[in-house]
Amino acid sequence: MSHFGLMLLYALLLGAFLATLWRRERREQLRLFLQVFVSLIGGSILLGWLMYLFPSGPPAPLP
């Protein structure tokens, strides 16, 4: 499984766990699940793009 697939699985399981743990009403559970899921996926994609802008390797040689 790819890193993105594992990240989706993690976000799905964590969102479901927190929603059932912290909310009683089905509608509130769904809302919290979506908030957690979208926050985890969106935040990780945003962080990935930010890391892409600043490579960690040695600087390129000047021509």
SS3 61: coil
Residue 27's φ and ψ, nearest 5 degrees, are -65, -40
The total number of residues written for the chain in this structure: 63
User: Does residue 11 carry a pLDDT above 80?
Assistant: yes
Please tell me the distance from the alpha carbon of residue 43 to that of residue 55, in angstroms, as a whole number. 19
How does pLDDT run across 18-60, given as a tens digit for each residue?
Answer: 999 999 999 999 999 999 999 999 999 999 999 888 888 887 7
User: What number of other Cβ atoms are within 10 A of residue 40's Cβ?
Assistant: 17
Residue 22 · residue 5 · CB < 8 Å: no
